């Protein structure tokens, strides 16, 4: 006896703990009229659970009458079952969902659950119940908002001319058709109203096919035809939507979920939330009879996103408080850059393998998908696991096509890749990869590889670094054969170099030809006695030298398109000083900005400069002049303004020779001045002369 008592102690202890836990929580019993899995039932349960999951003092139990498929005579058995199940522990509150559950509790609560408060939802017409039968009960009704659904439909489709109302001959169908009649009574006469009650499927299809395109269908109820044929909600709505060319609206959320366009719907979720909130208020001390019955509160404006595309409608007409079912989430914007992005896709696929797939079968499927994707890329795809000794874990079969090597050879022998690199590129390539592994940044570089056949292939190698779910790093990369591209670049480079060489040769030969002409003029000059003819030959030689010097400068500088004009100016001045010993006493200088000119401007500007300098050297400092002898060339190239000026400190220009403003063509008494004006006109520049206390010749070129 003593031993038996000791054995009972653990069980008594467990029962005591269970009793204590039971005392801390109570049960809210939810009684549904319909069966488990019915769309409306699921929605109501979601609403109830969303409220009560945060209430630690209660737990929820669900029971189902399945009144659609079970006759009322079976309810006695349900009463017996509930009585046995909840005899020891009565619920704190009851939630009745829909009319059949409420009528069941009205008739049997006094026997089953005496004095326990009842909260209801989904009740179609509360006026059908005696007020005395609802004592100790409160809740929310399910009255469909036909008026609100029609208003929403006309807001989304403002050009509607016809409304077809579809209902069956059941009590609910007749009640909803009555609500429809009251709702459309205020519509303008221009809107045609059509009613169809309990049609057969073929008859309904014919009615729907004849509707004008500016019509809508209001689905009120069509679960039973006139001949007694029954349909499920999903089957009924699917048939109506499939046969209709125009949008179909409904007043319940499960109608929209079954395929309708939308509506201001009675929401099962909101109904469940409202009932659960009232249940919590009651079990926390509020009197059930003090909570009024709520009507017309649990509505949502719901529209199906896909229906807008189906009927070619603009989504901008959706009201601000509307809910779009099935609206796709906005996708991030990616710039797809060819094979680089494809390598990222492969990397994501590989990460999926490492992070998600655990079983061997799933892993094999994922690896197959990865290989199929990699083998479609027109390049060698590879994967390298990093660590103390990097290991090549995958090489795509394209390795055989590109380089002639077997992929298995590269996987098994970690030095195969290094051995295949051209000896002249090997050290550079290995060093590049080693630094990239340390930094962990994406890389791209080119090197030469000796293929299995002995030919040299230029490879472009691109890779990116990733981590698996364990933190292990690996590289995914691709190798592209860019031999043709590299050969094209080399050919282009060689062609450009050849072109530059030819241009330099042309400038060199032009310069030589000018020098030959200059030499001929100098020989001819030696044969002519002093006088105007000899002076003219000398001037002609200087002008030819000015043009030849442009080509010589281009040839020497290496830039075949431009000449730096500042060194050119200094060289011209030095050559002019060297032609006459009398010029040794003149100080010549150049200052200002760098000025790069094309050949089309440099040649005429060089001739202009030659004339201006020659004029200054010859005429600025006559024999009687005793002052400072200076010739200065200024170059200005700033903010688009390009200007060349030749300034001397000599006696100044005779104003009778040329005007400083206006049309000076009448005063061009010398060939030099005439050439300066002609060259200024050719350059499109503005030429001015200043002759007080020395002479300044200023040529302003057009803006760059």
CATH at residue 467: 3.30.450.20
Match 């290094």 to its residue by tokens. Answer: 418
The whole-angstrom separation of Cα 333 and Cα 435 is 32
User: Which residue from 317, 218, 302, 315 is spatially nearest to 264, judged by alpha carbons?
Assistant: 302
Distance CA 90, CA 85 (A): 9
The pLDDT of residue 4: 43
Whether residues 310 and 374 share a domain: the answer is no
172 and 307 share a domain? Answer: yes
Strand partners, 473: 467
Cα–Cα nearest to 679, from 575, 594, 609: 609
Do the beta carbons of residue 220 and residue 183 sit within 8 Å? no
Same domain, 219 and 238: yes
pLDDT score, position 373: 58
pLDDT digits (tens, 9 = 90+) for 465-476: 888 877 888 888
pLDDT at residue 12 greater than cutoff 60: no
Asked whether residue 488 falls in the same domain as residue 615, the answer is no
Find out whether 633 and 573 touch, Cβ atoms under 8 Å: yes
Quick check: 110 and 132 in contact, CB under 8 A? Answer: no
pLDDT at position 626 is 86
Residue 207 lies in a domain: yes
Element (H, E) at 3: helix 2-24
Alpha-carbon distance of 27 to 8, in angstroms, equals: 29
The residue range of the domain holding 438 is 338-481
According to the model, what pLDDT value does residue 1 have? 41
Q: How many domains does the chain have?
A: 4
Neighbours of 265 (CB within 10 A): 28
Position 210 scores a pLDDT of 93
| Sequence-ordered list of residues with C-beta below 8 angstroms from that of 459, at least 6 positions apart, any chain | 446, 447, 448, 449, 479, 480, 481, 482
Which is nearest to 418 in space by CA: 464, 443, 384, 442?
Answer: 384
In DSSP notation, 455-503 reads -EEEEEEEEEEEE-TT--EEEEEEEEE-HHHHHHHHHHHHHHHHHHHHH
Main-chain dihedrals φ then ψ at residue 392, nearest 5 degrees: -75, 115
Edge-to-edge strands, sheet with 192-197: 192-197, 162-167, 215-219, 248-250, 262-266, 299-304, 323-325
Question: Any idea which of 316-325, 386-395, 511-520, 655-664 has the lowest mean pLDDT?
Answer: 655-664
Q: What is the mean pLDDT of the chain?
A: 81
Candidates 599, 606, 604; CA nearest to 568 is: 606
Decide the pairing of beta strands 137-141 and 118-123.
parallel
* 323-346 pLDDT, tens digit each: 888 777 665 655 556 667 766 767
Question: Global pTM?
Answer: 0.41
Domain's final residue, options 520, 535, 561:
561
Phi, psi of 358 (to 5 degrees): -110, -45
The answer to whether residue 305 is domain-embedded is: yes
Over residues 134-186, the pLDDT tens digits come to 999 999 988 888 999 999 999 999 999 999 999 998 878 888 899 999 999 99
Question: What's 622's domain CATH number?
Answer: 3.30.565.10
Reply yes or no on whether the pLDDT at 668 is more than 50. Answer: no
Residue 22 has pLDDT above 80, yes or no: no
What is the CA 630 to chain-centroid distance, rounded?
Answer: 67
CATH number at residue 199: 3.40.50.2300
- The answer to whether residue 132 is domain-embedded is no
Q: 448, 481, 514 — which closes off a domain?
A: 481
Q: Measured in Å, how far apart are the chain's first and last C-alpha atoms?
A: 118
- The model's confidence at residue 372, banded by pLDDT at 50, 70 and 90, is low
Tell whether 620 is covered by a domain: yes
| 572 phi/psi in degrees, rounded to 5 | -60, -45
Q: How many helices (H) and strands (E) does the chain have?
A: 22, 24
Question: For the residues 184-189, what does the mean pLDDT come to?
Answer: 91
Q: If we measure between CA atoms, which residue out of 358, 255, 276 comes closest to residue 51? A: 276
Say which range, 462-471, 548-557, 595-604, has the weakest mean pLDDT.
Answer: 548-557
Residue scoring higher pLDDT (348 or 418): 418
Cβ-proximal residues to 582 (8 Å cutoff; 6+ apart), any chain? none
Q: Is residue 121 situated within a structural domain?
A: no
Residue 87 lies in a domain: no
Nearest alpha carbon to residue 592 among 647, 526, 666:
647
Q: Say yes or no: 632 and 691 in one domain.
A: yes
Per-residue tokens: 38 = 């019915």
Do 668 and 685 have their domain in common?
yes
CB atoms within 10 A of CB 564: 16
Q: Does one domain contain both 321 and 301? A: yes
Residue 62: strand, helix, or coil: strand
- Do residues 644 and 597 share a domain? yes
pLDDT tens-digit series, residues 297-325: 668 889 988 888 888 887 777 888 888 88
Partner residues linked to 458 by β-bridges: 448
Please choose, from the candidates 264, 267, 218, the residue with its C-alpha nearest in 3D space to the C-alpha of residue 241: 218
Indicate if 519 and 589 belong to the same structural domain: no
- Write the pLDDT tens digit of every residue in 200-247: 999 999 999 999 999 999 999 888 888 888 888 889 999 999 999 999
Domain identity same for 598 and 454: no
- β-pairing verdict for 262-266 and 641-648: unpaired
Same-domain pairing of 445 and 493: no
Beta carbons of 559 and 551 less than 8 angstroms apart: no
Residue 128: strand, helix, or coil = helix
DSSP state of 316: G
- Residue 279 lies inside a defined structural domain of this protein: no
Count of beta carbons in the 10 Å neighbourhood of residue 98: 24
Q: Residue 666 pLDDT more than 60? A: no
Distance CA 462, CA 460 (A): 7
Say how many C-beta atoms besides its own lie within 10 A of residue 330's C-beta: 6
Residue 397's pLDDT is what? 84
pLDDT exceeds 50 at position 5: no
Percentage above 90 pLDDT, the chain: 31
- Residues 225, 304 within the same domain: yes
Give the pLDDT confidence score for residue 699 in this predicted structure. Answer: 92
DSSP per-residue letters across 240-305: HHHH-SS-EEESBHHHHHTT--EEEEEPHHHHHHHHHHHHHHHHTT--GGGSPPB-S--EEEEEEH
Q: Is residue 454 part of a domain?
A: yes
Kindly tell me if the per-residue pLDDT of 194 is higher than 90: yes
């Amino acid at each position: 006896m003593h031993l038996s008592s000791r054995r009972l102690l653990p069980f008594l202890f467990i029962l005591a703990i269970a009793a204590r836990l039971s005392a801390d929580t109570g049960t809210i019993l939810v009684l549904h009229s319909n069966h488990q899995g019915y769309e409306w039932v699921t929605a109501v349960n979601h609403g109830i659970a969303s409220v009560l999951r945060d209430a630690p003092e209660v737990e929820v139990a669900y029971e189902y009458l399945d009144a659609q498929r079970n006759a009322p005579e079976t309810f006695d058995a349900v009463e017996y079952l509930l009585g046995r199940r909840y005899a020891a522990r009565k619920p704190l509150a009851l939630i009745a969902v829909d009319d059949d559950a409420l009528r069941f509790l009205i008739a049997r609560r006094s026997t089953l659950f005496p004095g326990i408060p009842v909260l209801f939802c989904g009740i179609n017409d509360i006026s059908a119940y005696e007020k005395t039968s609802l004592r100790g009960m409160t809740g929310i009704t399910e009255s469909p908002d036909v008026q609100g659904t029609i208003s929403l439909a006309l807001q989304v489709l403002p050009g509607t001319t016809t409304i077809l109302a579809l209902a069956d001959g059941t009590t609910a169908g007749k009640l909803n058709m009555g609500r429809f009649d009251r709702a459309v009574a205020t519509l303008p006469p221009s809107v045609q109203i059509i009613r169809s009650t309990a049609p057969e499927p073929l008859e309904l299809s014919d009615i729907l096919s004849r509707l004008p395109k500016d019509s809508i269908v209001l689905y009120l109820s069509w679960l039973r035809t006139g001949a007694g044929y029954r349909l499920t909600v999903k089957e009924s709505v699917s048939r109506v939507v499939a046969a209709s060319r125009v949008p179909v609206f409904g007043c319940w959320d499960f109608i929209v979920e079954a395929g309708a366009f939308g509506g201001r719907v009675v929401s099962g979720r909101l109904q469940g939330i409202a009932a659960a909130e009232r249940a919590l208020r009651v079990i926390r001390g509020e009197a059930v009879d003090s909570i009024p019955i709520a009507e017309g509160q649990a509505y949502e404006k719901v529209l199906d996103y896909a229906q807008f595309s189906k009927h070619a409608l603009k989504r901008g007409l959706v009201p601000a408080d509307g809910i779009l079912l099935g609206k796709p989430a906005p996708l991030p914007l990616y710039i797809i850059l060819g094979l680089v992005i494809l390598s990222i896709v492969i990397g994501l696929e590989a990460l999926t393998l490492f992070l998600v797939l655990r079983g061997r079968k799933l892993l094999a499927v994922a690896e197959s998908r990865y290989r199929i994707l990699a083998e479609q890329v027109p390049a060698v795809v590879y994967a390298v696991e990093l660590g103390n000794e990097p290991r090549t874990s995958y090489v795509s079969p394209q390795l055989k096509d590109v380089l002639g090597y077997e992929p298995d050879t590269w996987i098994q022998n970690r030095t195969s890749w290094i051995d295949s690199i051209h000896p002249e590129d090997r050290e550079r390539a290995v060093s590049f990869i080693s630094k990239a592994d340390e930094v962990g940044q994406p890389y791209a570089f080119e090197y030469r590889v000796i293929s299995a056949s002995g030919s040299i292939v230029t490879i472009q190698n691109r890779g990116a670094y990733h981590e698996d779910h364990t933190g292990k790093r690996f590289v995914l990369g691709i190798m592209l054969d860019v031999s043709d591209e590299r050969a094209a670049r080399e050919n282009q480079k060689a062609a450009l170099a050849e072109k530059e060489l030819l241009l330099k040769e042309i400038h060199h030969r032009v310069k030589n030809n000018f020098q030959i002409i200059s030499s001929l003029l100098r020989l001819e000059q030696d044969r002519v006695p002093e006088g105007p003819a000899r002076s003219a030959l000398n001037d002609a030689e200087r002008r030819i030298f000015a043009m030849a010097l442009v080509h010589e400068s281009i040839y020497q500088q290496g830039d075949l398109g431009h000449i730096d004009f500042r060194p050119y100016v200094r060289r011209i001045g030095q050559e002019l000083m060297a032609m006459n010993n009398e010029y040794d006493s003149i100080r010549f200088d150049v200052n200002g900005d760098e000025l790069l000119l094309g050949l089309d401007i440099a040649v005429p500007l060089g001739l202009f400069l030659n004339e201006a300098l020659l004029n200054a050297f010859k005429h600025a400092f006559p024999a009687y002049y005793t002052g400072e002898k200076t010739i200065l060339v200024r170059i200005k190239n700033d903010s688009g303004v390009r200007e060349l000026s030749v300034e001397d400190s000599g006696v100044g220009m005779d104003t009778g020779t040329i005007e400083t403003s206006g049309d000076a063509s009448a005063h061009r008494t010398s060939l030099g001045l005439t050439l300066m004006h002609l060259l200024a006109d050719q350059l499109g520049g503005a030429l001015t002369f200043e002759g007080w206390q020395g002479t300044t010749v200023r040529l302003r070129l057009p803006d760059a």
